[in-house]
Amino acid sequence: MLRNTSMPQMTKSEIDSFRSRMRDVMTGNVSKNEAARMVERRRQIDSTYNEFVKANGGKNPILGI
């Protein structure tokens, strides 16, 4: 069973900072280094997922598909 995690309260400045960062990421307004890090992270995530599915007979047992 998954435990519930409490959501800590965020200050107005933290919310504004988060929204600004999300806006930058979604519009592609990031530095070349950040973009390269995001591409590498996506490659790692995809690789891990593919290994996980391969190890489970081509199916994702978490989703049941």
Per residue in 10-32, pLDDT tens? 899 999 999 999 999 999 999 99
- Structural domain spans, the chain: 31-65
Q: What pTM was estimated for this model as a whole?
A: 0.64
Residue 54 has pLDDT above 70, yes or no: yes
Measured distance CA(1)–CA(62) in Å, rounded: 13
**Long-range contacts from 56-62, C-beta under 8 angstroms, 24+ separation:** none
Average pLDDT over residues 32-48: 96
